[in-house]
Amino acid sequence: MVRKLRIVLATLIAAFSATPQAADGLYLGAGIGLATFKDQVGTETVEADDAAFRGFIGWRFDGVPLIDLAVEAAYTDFGRPSQTMAGQNVQFKLTGPSLAGLLILPLGPVDLYAKGGVLSWQSERSAAGLTASQSGTDAFYGAGVGFYLWKVGIRAEYERFQIKDVDRLEMLSVNVLFQF
């Protein structure tokens, strides 16, 4: 009985020590998700969502024991959420590049991570044939989980963007990345 327990324990240790995980270095990826937008227009509230797209490049560092760090640059198109109010279609467009830092807890082929950074955004609001444009730089934060097999990773993440003059901008996304 003790011999079988030792064999099982040795097998488990070998399996977990040989588990593939993300390596440090350059990675490139893209994602698709759902952006949810909420804002006040006059006395009414616009709450709409649309498909969002992202491309990103990053560098992962695994020099710190127990955790990994990463720096990531991205460009995100939050789609064109719209809603009809008082018989008129109100449409928003928001895009921009971002820079973020990631704090990653690697658990074999699975990563848990938190991220925070800044988004340099440009927006357009169209209603009744008029378009108003704004731009700025604001903070965002998020969290996610990733799974790695060989050099390919799949990540699911939630992000919340603190855009000035916008009540809420959130994004749920699925991303695929390739490590070099």
At 85-138, the pLDDT tens digits run 777 788 889 999 999 999 999 998 999 999 999 999 998 888 777 888 889 999
pLDDT band at 27 (very low <50, low <70, confident <90, very high): very high
Least confident of 3-12, 19-28, 97-106: 3-12
The CATH number of domain 2-179, selected from 1.10.1060.10, 3.40.50.1000, 3.40.50.720, 2.40.160.20: 2.40.160.20
- Rg (C-alpha) for the chain, rounded Å, is 21
Amino acid in the structure at residue 174: V
Q: Where are the domains of the chain?
A: 2-179
DSSP class per residue in 115-179: EEEEEEEEEEEEETTEEEEEEEEEEEEEEEEEEEETTEEEEEEEEEE--TT-SEEEEEEEEEEEE
pLDDT band at 17 (very low <50, low <70, confident <90, very high): very low
pLDDT of residue 39 exceeding 60: yes
